[in-house]
Amino acid sequence: MSINPTDLSPYGLTVKNIVRNATPARLYEYAIIDRHAAIAASGALATRSGDKTGRSPKDKRIVDSPESSSNIWWGDINIRLTERSYLINRQRAIDYLNTRKRIFVFDGFAGWDPTHQIKVRVIAESAYHALFMHNMLIRPTMEELAGFGEPDLTILNAGSFPANPYTPQMTSRTSIDLNIEQGELVILGTQYAGEMKKGVFTVMNYEMPRRGVLSMHCSANCSTSDPGDVTLFFGLSGTGKTTLSTDPRRALIGDDEHCWTDDGIFNIEGGCYAKVIHLSQHHEPEIYQAIRYGAVLENVVYDDSTHEVNYEDASITENTRVAYPIEFIPGAMVPCVGQHPRNIVFLTCDAFGVLPPVSRLTPEQAMYHFISGYTAKVAGTEMGINEPTATFSACFGAAFLVWHPAKYAELLADQIRQHGVNVWLVNTGWTGGGYGVGRRMNLRLTRGIIDAIHNGTLAQALTRTDPVFGFHVPVTAGDLPKDLLWPRDAWANPESYDQMANRLADLFRENFRKFETGSSDAIRAAGPVPISGPSVTG
């Protein structure tokens, strides 16, 4: 579909050869030409994002404007950018795009609830990026496209062209600049497509709380037989959020970004962006089968002659990804909206081997652990890491928050109390000892825990209180071994467990100090404390 070049005149673009909202097949064809990509044996497009194979959080900037400045949680995550430096980068991107023989424009929506939907326009030099956002945004109908009008957010993606490091406030040749007031995102110096996806999420994380709507970095699904049985899954990378929410027995609402309104929840995105490192048809059949014509594989290694993808090969990056429309998941909930959740699951990969495989949280504990957003890196995954390292990310998505974390936590607390939601902490990490000593939780076992949450078994189970963290830990849970449910019993040396539990508790308390101001006494008291001896409750 063609677009009148004058429609792009507000952005200063004069390129004559513009492709707008082309069919996926045409974008697919352009992407192969433009990116020297290949068609994988599955039929998906396999491409690379250049030197950047992940996000560049230290290069993300937000324009400091009087209208929004007092609302923003400024610091290492939201770094200030002057209007002048923004305009320099914006002009640099426009000048570069004007030198291209062809640019691609895609218009789509963020948010399945029409009441809270925003209109997004993507302008990019790469068909690969247009196809990626075609998958990740909600695709408009022809009628919606005809009446699309002015976008609420415009993404100017000139990622092949670097920022000028001598521009004030630039720290590298990469810059991702958000201007909230102008509704623009400018990308320079990185071709990693995830910057666009998370740029849209950042905008939603600013706009939705202004409306009293909670934006969340989580996945969601619901029972195919009971639409009121909705579950939210929160968790940092590597905890199993996408895997556990993609269940053939339940309808997927979305795998990563949602909002919670007075009417229920809705997915922000029109597609999924799943990790594919170590992907197998046996363990994750739904994701595996979604990799077909129209899907975009990023940074995977494939055989040059057969185009078979080697999902075990991390020589380019551990962060291998696939983007596909949510309709590629059988039985996905489309439109992607749901009722108020019945259960919330906080996922953590505890490499210290301390946390139970499942425990129930009080509303105050839920707030504490939501603000904490804990998981752990394991030895050997990064240079210099020789033992488990605690990682905390506020609200399980600190990199994308715009307001202070307490803003989101308060909205979540209100919804939990109002709708009587059960909140669970599920450990997908280690048991019987920390990394290198214990063993990783089996995926089958974790799925069994999630099943017990969904069928109500765990909500009725007898519990006992964890002596350090205060969790309510089920005494029994179906066929799960009792010593596994109570992690101290799974360790060969219980005294070693106590030492490690106290160490992890200290890390929690140290991290939470920066959030104590603004948190209620009840939330502060919900953190780990040095107590001993389990109690049994009904």
Active-site residue set: 55, 198, 217, 237, 241-242, 256, 321
Single-letter amino acid code for the residue at 55? R
The rounded distance, in Å, linking the Cα atoms of 108 and 190 is 22
Q: Does residue 346 contact residue 370 with C-beta atoms inside 8 Å?
A: yes
Give, for 127, the enclosing helix (H) or strand (E): helix 127-136
How many other CB atoms are there within 10 angstroms of residue 210's CB atom? 12
Which alpha helices (H) appear in 398-493, and where do they start and end? 405-419, 443-454, 457-460, 482-485, 487-490
Q: Residues near 35 by Cβ (< 8 Å), separated by ≥ 6? A: 47, 48, 126, 127, 128
Nearest to 103 by CA among 54, 163, 160, 174: 160
| β-pair type (422-427, 358-361) | antiparallel
The rounded distance, in Å, linking the Cα atoms of 504 and 517 is 22
How many other CB atoms are there within 10 angstroms of residue 14's CB atom? 12
335: preceding bond cis by omega (within 30 degrees): yes
- Return the bridge partners of 215, or none: 259
The rounded distance, in Å, linking the Cα atoms of 250 and 190 is 37
The rounded distance, in Å, linking the Cα atoms of 391 and 334 is 34
Three-class SS state of 161: coil
Nearest to 92 by CA among 17, 141, 165, 19: 165
Nearest to 138 by CA among 259, 269, 333, 267: 269
| β-pair type (337-338, 264-267) | antiparallel
| β-pair type (214-223, 257-261) | antiparallel
Q: Does residue 271 contact residue 346 with C-beta atoms inside 8 Å?
A: no
CA 458, 459, 465, 469 torsion: positive or negative? positive
The rounded distance, in Å, linking the Cα atoms of 131 and 508 is 41
Q: Tell me, letter by letter, the H, E, C secondary structure of 206-262.
A: HHHHHCCCEEEEEEEEEECCCCCCEEEEEECCCCCHHHHHCCCCEEEEECCEEEEEC
Q: Does residue 370 contact residue 234 with C-beta atoms inside 8 Å?
A: yes
The rounded distance, in Å, linking the Cα atoms of 203 and 475 is 43
Phi-psi region of 145 (alpha: psi -120 to 50; beta: other; left: phi over 0): alpha
| Residue 184: C-alpha distances to residues 120, 244, 399, 509, 510 (Å) | 10, 34, 19, 38, 37
Give, for 79, the enclosing helix (H) or strand (E): strand 79-81
